[in-house]
Structure 1
Amino acid sequence: MRTVKQVSDLTGISVRMLHYYDEIGLLKPSEVTDAGYRLYDDEALMTLQQILFYKELDIPLKAVKEIMYSPHYDKIQALENQKKLLILKCNRLNDLVKLIDKTLKGETAMSFKEFDMSEYFNALEDLKKEHKDKIIKAYGSMDKYNEFIERCRSKEVEIARMAIKQYGSIKKYVKAIKRNYNSNVFILAEQYEEFKKDCLEDKHPELKELYKALVADLGKDPSSKEIQRIAQEIKNTAQRDYEIFKIDTGNEYWYSMVQIYLLLPDWIKAVDEKYGTGAAIFIGKALKTNLGDKQPKIKVLYEKLTSDLNKNPYSEEMQKIVAEIANETHRQHETLKIDEGENYLGYMAELYLSDSAWAKEADNRYGNGASKFIGEALKFYSEGVK
């Protein structure tokens, strides 16, 4: 057992702060003597160590208490998460040191006022209180969200440039983030997850029997009349009983649902565990065949834009397609009540032209050189409508 003074000397935390931790219920002493002295055992010191890790990550004490005293709190998992966050913070600080070195050498010139991200990170912290449930549903846990914040800190300058490019200023970007947390995105995400859960857990009796019939023989042809009849019934039932598939853009969400059977590893694994190896791909092929040529309008437009990469991306023909893309994108954002910013297409153009991940994805999907073609077409259009 150690006294509060000994713990203070060992950890560098003031006696006054240890008393405060006791008052707010964050770290209670292991024992209090008859004389009123606080004593701490090794387990209490381990708890204090965890608190200090969270403190180093600038997580408010109230949030630390909620995390540590949650019935689902796992010390080992918490240490793993804290390690990831501290590595991210370390990398961020190293990047800042490199940036300072470049600035001292005259290699970098920027307005620090323009790139001040403090309001942005304050907003991310505030969202923990205002939208706790939404954050946990979206990220899986508050630890995952904290990890996201640290990743954002490590890309501070990149995010600032994106915010200014797309929204005009960081201040407008922060306002948009707050507004977008009240958009329809989270409602639709919950409805989407509800449908997926019902399918996996057999909570919809009719769908349960339909899926069971669909995968009764995985050796059958997914495009056969018998299988397609079941696939059509599954689609009709989903569109009848689930709000997400009833709305104007319901067909597009159904298209996305079909794709996850073919592309999403976690979903494929879960479905295969339920129905047998190969079941997810079989279901995906059956539902995709049932869709026919019904695809989301935005997907059709991008395929149309990239159908001939030898054409001039600045031509009237191509710019007309880009205008349709802009209108469809705006319509989708309005439906979801998303603040897209004043230069969304300009930002997208920059991603296609300078982000290697976006370039690789576009080239794989539409052909070599597609990313540059799309980027130039979007950039030309966005500059023309300013």
Structure 2
Amino acid sequence: MRTVKQVSDLTGISVRMLHHYDKIGLLKPTKLTEAGYRLYDDEALETLQQILFFKELDLPLKDIKEIITSPSFDKMKALESHKKLIILKRDRLNGIIELINKTLKGANSMSFKEFDMTEYYNALEDFKTEHEDKVIKMYGSVEKYNEFVEKCRAKEVDIAKEAVKHYGSIKKFAEAIKKNLNSDAITKAEQIDEFKKDCLYDRNPKLRKLYKKITADLSKDPSSKEIQQIAGEITNIVKRDYEVFKNELGDYYWYTSVRNCLEFPKGLVKNYDGSGMSWLEAIDKKYGEGAAKFTGKALKIYLGDYEPKIEKLYKKLRADLSKDPTSNEIQQIVFEIAKETRRQNEVLKVDSGENFFGYMADFYLSKPTFIKATDKKYGEGAAKFIGEAFKFYSENKIEMK
């Protein structure tokens, strides 16, 4: 056992900071003496070492606490991840040191490629200049878009790390941003927003009449013949009047829109007025508390057994979490998910990056909020299972049938 002073001398962390770690629950002492002095054993020191590794990667203490207290936290895997990221940081710093040394020696030619994010910001500025109408639709105003860009500048190091991890380089990341900002995915998102606004602001007379009718009595059974007939009429009008629900991915978009009414917590959907009210909250305000969920349930029942291929594959992937995520059986499913994802991206003209599944594996394995939501929805250990399956696929790229 070591006292707080001994731990401070050993690690270089101040006594005051160790007290703060205890106060916020990040690193509790192993025991307290009768006199109230903190004592730390070797296991506590190992935890402190992990904290210092995460701090080296510029993570906030709140995020570090969520990570190391997560049930799925694996020390050895965390060390491997630390090693890779710190090597990247070392290489970047070595590049900067080399640049400084050249400058000190009087070198005339200066290069900032080691930390240059210019191409990324140029892509954002070009989008604002060429598509001001889209910027206003997506962000509310040019000023708010400018605020978004400034926030990106404030998080430049984090964005650069994620970009390299996801796309392989800043240059490829910037090229993808240019492509994605002009992709059909943006157009489809705008079309879905227009559909939602038509429902909210009564701009489609037939839908206005049907939404009033289906929400007239929320105590009714959404699976009843009466409600299902209205749900069918809504579905038919939506697929007839809105281009986004007619194309190759139309059924998938309609399925997703319906499902979001049932699964998305209020506040996670794009705001539709200055008050910050979400679309789901606005529907409930317009037609009564619970109207959005009731309508979503009725439309989901009308869809019957229909499920997009990608949804079926994910369901199949997490069907048995006791299986080996690196097995041929599971990897075959991941291969099919990758193939379907590529197909959708090709239809939408989207660049998802050369290491998309490695990037997603990080979300499932290291993002506490994402892990918690996934495990809550699909069962304890679901995030770890999917993450390991994606990670193995990303690292090995095994070709399947």
C-alpha displacement at 1:216, in angstroms? 2.1
- How far, CA to CA, are the matches of 2:366 and 2:116 in structure 1? 23
Contact 2:202 2:208 in 1 (8 A): yes
| Per-residue deviation, residues 96-141 of structure 1 (Å, max 9, x unmatched) | 9xxxxxxxxx995232544432332333233321222212211222
- Out of 376, 382, 385, the residue aligned to residue 394 of structure 2 is 382
Q: Which residue of 2 aligns with 1:66?
A: none
Q: Which residue of 2 aligns with 1:254?
A: 254
- How far, CA to CA, are the matches of 1:371 and 1:153 in structure 2? 31
C-alpha displacement at 1:341, in angstroms? 1.8
Q: Which residue of 2 aligns with 1:292?
A: 304
Q: Which residue of 1 aligns with 2:227?
A: 227
Question: Is 1:277 matched with 2:270?
Answer: no
Matched positions, count: 283
C-alpha displacement at 1:381, in angstroms? 0.9
Under a length normalisation based on structure 1, what TM-score does the superposition of the two structures give?
0.68
C-alpha displacement at 1:324, in angstroms? 0.8
Question: Is 1:141 matched with 2:141?
Answer: yes
- How far, CA to CA, are the matches of 1:144 and 1:161 in structure 2? 25
Contact 2:196 2:279 in 1 (8 A): no
Q: Which residue of 2 aligns with 1:109?
A: 90
Equivalent residues in 2 for 1:24-103, closer than 5 Å = none
SS of structure 1 residue aligned to 2:322: coil
- How far, CA to CA, are the matches of 1:115 and 1:361 in structure 2? 34
- How far, CA to CA, are the matches of 2:358 and 2:217 in structure 1? 49
- How far, CA to CA, are the matches of 2:261 and 2:359 in structure 1? 31
Q: Which residue of 2 aligns with 1:337?
A: 349
Per the alignment, do residues 300 and 342 of structure 1 end up closer, same or farther by CA in structure 2, a change over 3 Å counting? same
Per the alignment, do residues 377 and 115 of structure 1 end up closer, same or farther by CA in structure 2, a change over 3 Å counting? farther
- How far, CA to CA, are the matches of 1:369 and 1:114 in structure 2? 39
Contact 1:314 1:377 in 2 (8 A): yes
Q: CA RMSD in A?
A: 2.2
Counterpart code for 1:167: Y
- Out of 335, 338, 342, the residue aligned to residue 323 of structure 1 is 335
- How far, CA to CA, are the matches of 2:156 and 2:368 in structure 1? 19
Q: Which residue of 1 aligns with 2:153?
A: 153
C-alpha displacement at 1:325, in angstroms? 0.6
C-alpha displacement at 1:223, in angstroms? 0.9
C-alpha displacement at 1:254, in angstroms? 0.8
Q: Which residue of 1 aligns with 2:26?
A: none
Structure 2: where are the runs of 5+ without partners? 1-57, 60-85, 97-112, 267-277
Q: Which residue of 1 aligns with 2:181?
A: 181
SS of structure 1 residue aligned to 2:289: coil
Give the stretch that moved more between structures: 106-115 or 209-218: 106-115
Equivalent residues in 2 for 1:327-366, closer than 5 Å = 327-366=339-378
Q: Which residue of 1 aligns with 2:208?
A: 208
Q: Which residue of 2 aligns with 1:7?
A: none
Structure 1: where are the runs of 5+ without partners? 1-94, 97-105
- How far, CA to CA, are the matches of 2:312 and 2:133 in structure 1? 36
| Per-residue deviation, residues 51-71 of structure 1 (Å, max 9, x unmatched) | xxxxxxxxxxxxxxxxxxxxx
Q: Which residue of 2 aligns with 1:5?
A: none
Under a length normalisation based on structure 2, what TM-score does the superposition of the two structures give?
0.66
- How far, CA to CA, are the matches of 2:146 and 2:345 in structure 1? 27
Higher relative contact order (CA 8 A, sep 6+): 2
- How far, CA to CA, are the matches of 1:155 and 1:219 in structure 2? 48
Question: Is 1:303 matched with 2:284?
Answer: no
Contact 2:183 2:348 in 1 (8 A): yes
- How far, CA to CA, are the matches of 2:242 and 2:127 in structure 1? 29
- How far, CA to CA, are the matches of 2:260 and 2:362 in structure 1? 28
Counterpart code for 1:197: K
